[in-house]
Amino acid sequence: MSADLLKLRARDAEDVDVVSAVLQDSIVPLCDMAFQPEEKGFLLVAQRLRRENPNAVERICCAVRIHSVTAVQTHDIDFNQTDRMLDLLALLFDADALTLVFASGAKIRLTLSGCCLTMEDFGEAWPALCQPQHERG
């Protein structure tokens, strides 16, 4: 197993911005997301782009757990489409919610009673087949 696995915790808006940057362009299979209302948690597994090494862009699996979730709202997401893959663009945090913004307008808004998010790489990395290109504004 790789010795350079990334592990981060976010407790405020500034921390969420860092995690958002790390997770940008992750692929998230819809079947790898779950709301656990009894535990007030939302879990997902993302295949994030690991850009830490400028000489080799790789993907690695990353577990993300959002704590203190009291409600979940979705836009343009049908959890019955278990084979759908979503491209994560950003995490947006405001006073009482965290919004996961995906390509094509899909969103998940998590109502929170506090801000705590953890993310942790696991498994072995593999070469990325392509690297997303974004227009500069």
pLDDT tens string 102-124 = 999 999 999 999 889 999 999 99
Range of the domain at 86: 7-126
Q: How many structural domains is the chain composed of?
A: 1
pLDDT for 95 beyond 90? no
Q: Which two tokens stand for residue 36?
A: 């656990």
Any domain includes 131? no
Mean pLDDT, residues 36-61 taken together: 93
Any domain includes 94? yes
Any domain includes 75? yes
In order of 30, 31, 55, 57, the CA distances from 87 in angstroms are: 10, 14, 23, 17
Any domain includes 135? no
